[in-house]
Amino acid sequence: MEHLVALPQYDILGYLIVGLAFIAACDFVCGTRLILRADWSVTQTVALAIGAYIAGHMLAVISTAVVETALPPPVEQLMCEKCAQADFFYNRHLPVSAINKINKKSAEMNGGNALHGIDLFWDAYNTAKQDEHAFERIVTFHQLFNFSRNTAFASFIVVFLALIQCCRRSSADVESARRELIALNLPGWLANSNVQAFLFFVVAVLMFLRYLYFFRAHAIEVLTSFAFGH
């Protein structure tokens, strides 16, 4: 257990906790009872912690590949001064004065030719990370958007599993699951697959919106630290 305590803070938040939450959610939906059980041994506890940590990493890899490949990087919209200001927060651009400042700084550092898009972002990142305080804020936003993305992705998987259970579970299965939950001092209505799908869908949407917020905030911090930093 000493090794678990020695894990970096982000590993605990971004992988271990997400993995544990995912396994617990599968317990509710599929009745695996890997976490929701009355008796525990030291071996089972260690095995669960290791399994949850690995599951968290797998969710992170898959969610990164799926979500961030499909989603346009925030820098494109943030720097689009000719775009109409959108109603949805993720698609809003920075104030024109800030965009001009960023472009001016980029041009000064690249022989008069300002970079654009993802090239601008990484150039700005390499400069901004030299500022210790700015880098701390950048890392914080990075950790938050990763945690939110991983949690949202895991929740969407659980929604899919719950919908499958809606089609295949009999009333006897639901009643048996309800009794098991009550025996664990948990609400019996959590055994209803329709309720499970709805609850996890709400969680998934909320966490995805938080992911978009922190993903955008991360890019803003990089760009503004680049332009206005010393």
CA-closest candidate to residue 134, choices 230, 225, 227: 225
CA-closest candidate to residue 30, choices 184, 229, 180, 214: 180
Condensed to tens digits (0 to 9), the pLDDT of residues 140-192 reads 999 999 999 999 999 999 999 999 988 877 777 767 777 776 766 777 777 77
Q: pLDDT band at residue 36, thresholds of 50, 70 and 90?
A: low
Nearest-angstrom CA–CA distance, 180 and 151: 26
Nearest-angstrom CA–CA distance, 53 and 56: 5
Sequence spans of domains, the chain = 2-228
Lowest mean pLDDT across 3-17, 78-92, 140-154, 165-179: 3-17
Q: pLDDT band at residue 4, thresholds of 50, 70 and 90?
A: very low
Nearest-angstrom CA–CA distance, 203 and 205: 6
Rg (CA), the chain: 22
Q: Are 172 and 110 in contact (CB under 8 A)?
A: no
